[in-house]
Amino acid sequence: MEDINERARTKLGTGRVADYIPALAEQDANKFGIAICTNEGEVYAAGDAQEPFSIQSISKVFLLTLSLRVYGNELWERVGLNPSGMPFNSLTQLEAERGKPRNPFINAGAIVVADRLVSAFATPSKHLRDVARKLSGNESILIDARVQESEWQHRSRNAAMAYLMKSFGNIDNDVDQVLHSYFSCCSLAMSCVDLAVALNYLAADGHAQAMGEPFIAPDLARKINSIMFTCGMYDAAGDFAYRVGLPAKSGVGGGIVAIVPGKLSVCAWSPALDENGNSVAAQYALELLAEEMVRQQLGH
């Protein structure tokens, strides 16, 4: 971890912090952290791994997991399962494809999933926050109200997607209510350690480390990993698969969670992003980790 921390920091200064959500523009581009949680429950961390950051699109994994727990395969009537090949906030496919987003890991897809949760739970964002607390074993996890408000103030593009989908009958609830839920989930503040522990269920056949019990069925964990592999890095999913080869999900807060099924979960974070909205240093760190794991497996 220390070696990766040192080497990944050479990438600081490359890329740009997201500024289309003003509250995110204030992040310090010189931060880098990485944490691993093994399926045996050991946590290894380096750099700024304990510092909470805005999880942004990583919340789409929680949203999807909770929604699949309630709706099962019915969910796929509302949202597709294929990479979009488009930026995460693109509107162009939505009109042509009659309001059914390509996958649950682009904004439109996650907004549809959030709508499903608004139908299922009285207070969906509080429910999701509580699940994040339980899964990470950290009761102090909060929704960052400043980020949430900033997203709401600059919601035009996400609101346009939501209204377009509503016009096709793919959003059941009030658009403002759905957007509020979606933004509050994106605004959860968690650290690399929190996220590595919380998402370990995807590495451990659905078993939640901090809860000490099954969270989802093994088959569902396999399926979510598959969607992460093909769609988790937006239109750069293929590049990342080639470089790293692991199911992963990124967010514009600079975090990336990756899963080594059967072994461990990892979260790397650094706020500066490349042109696809993926953290430059976090991607590099995961590439170094993947290379190191191959070397160790070969006994080199």
By the rule CB under 6 A, 56 interacts with ligand GLN: yes
Is residue 191 annotated as part of the catalytic site, yes or no? no
Residue number with CB closer to ligand GLN (197 or 273) = 273
Residue number with CB closer to ligand GLN (107 or 136) = 107
**278 token code pair:** 């993926």
Q: How far is the CB of 238 from ligand GLN (least distance, A)?
A: 17
Rounded Cα distance, 175 and 179, in Å? 6
By the rule CB under 6 A, 277 interacts with ligand GLN: yes
Which residues does residue 255 pair with via DSSP β-bridges, in sequence order?
269
Binding ligand GLN by CB under 6 A: which of 48, 151, 235, 287?
151
Is residue 57 annotated as part of the catalytic site, yes or no? yes
Q: Are 185 and 158 in contact (CB under 8 A)?
A: no
Q: Is 241 exposed, middle or buried (0-12, 13-18, 19+ CB in 10 A)?
A: middle
Q: How far is the CB of 107 from ligand GLN (least distance, A)?
A: 5
By the rule CB under 6 A, 124 interacts with ligand GLN: no
Q: Are 215 and 201 in contact (CB under 8 A)?
A: yes
Is residue 182 annotated as part of the catalytic site, yes or no? yes
Number of amino acids touching ligand GLN (CB under 6 A): 11
Is residue 226 annotated as part of the catalytic site, yes or no? no
Q: How far is the CB of 268 from ligand GLN (least distance, A)?
A: 15
For Cα atoms 255, 205, 115, give the angle at the middle one, nearest 5 degrees.
60
Helix (H) or strand (E) holding 287: helix 280-297
225 is in an annotated binding site: no
173 is in an annotated binding site: no
* 3-state SS, residue 264: strand
User: Contact positions toward ligand GLN, by CB under 6 A?
Assistant: 56-57, 88-89, 107, 151, 158, 186, 251-252, 277
